[in-house]
Amino acid sequence: MNYDIKKSGERIRQIRIKNGVTQEQVAGALNIDRSFYSRVEAGKKGCSVDLFIQLSNLFHVSLDYLILGRYSGDLAKNTDRVQMKEDIVKLVAHLEQFRITL
């Protein structure tokens, strides 16, 4: 199995949508430009190792899944997904507060 930039971007997009967050919110959380993030999801731009790690941590999925599409035994369980959604909601609220103070 090899790294496919388009398939990886599609997996990242699907995870973001499943978590109910926008590209702008993810880009803000990762401190990257939204247009760059959009190109990653479209499979037009690859991720650095650091960005893959940040995405993995943000969405609580394995690097194997993001990069190669393989599921590991550590993939988030339902209870982890609930916690992840709560964390994202908190992050979005924090980002909104930050935006308001600017």
Q: 41 vs 72, which has greater pLDDT?
A: 41
- Overall pTM > 0.75: no
pLDDT tens digit string along 4-33? 999 999 999 999 999 999 999 999 999 999
Domain 5-101: CATH architecture, name and number where available: Orthogonal Bundle (1.10)
Any idea where the domains of the chain sit in the sequence?
Answer: 5-101
- CA dihedral (54, 63, 68, 81) in degrees, to 10, reads -90
Q: What angle do CA 66, 25, 50 make, to 5 degrees?
A: 40
- CA dihedral (95, 64, 61, 50) in degrees, to 10, reads -20
Measured between alpha carbons, how far is 81 from 85 in angstroms, rounded to an integer? 6
Residue 94 tokens, joined:
């924090």
pLDDT reported for residue 24: 97
The type of residue at 22 is T
pLDDT band at 1 (very low <50, low <70, confident <90, very high): low
